[in-house]
Amino acid sequence: MKISEIMTRNVQTTSPERSLRDVAALMADIDSGAVLVNDGDRLVGMVTDRDIAIRGVAAGLTSDTPVRKVMSGEVRYCFDDEEVEHVARNMADIQMRRLPVLNREKRLVGVVSLGNIASSRNERASATVLQGVAQAH
């Protein structure tokens, strides 16, 4: 089974200049703990609710601070034509709960998460990714 068959499409993104307050409100609106950050048509990062709390609020940044100050800039991703088991092993190895999904032209087409893999009904892939991301950091 390919990632394109289980990924979430129509992914909401934000710009690196958007404020922490706006991105937190966006997360609440779409009921997601992570938002991808793009600059034009280029994926430049990901910001999570944890990034906002730990790198933003705990560090004393104001809610008007641009998200680029707290986002993770190293973007890990997978391709939409990869096999679910392969991506699950990769997610486990790098201990990531979600990955952006790109097509071979490197355009964002979706995101794959633990939930997507669990819903694939591929028990081996589900067990692999869950075991990998559940390890203590």
Lowest mean pLDDT among 26-30, 40-44, 105-109, 128-132: 128-132
What single-letter amino acid sits at 129?
V
> Does residue 121 surpass a pLDDT of 90?
no
63-117 confidence digits (pLDDT tens): 999 999 999 988 899 999 999 999 988 988 888 888 999 999 988 999 998 888 8
pLDDT at 136: 47
- Nearest 5°: phi and psi at 89? -65, -40
Helix residue spans in the chain (DSSP H): 20-30, 49-50, 84-94, 114-119, 123-133
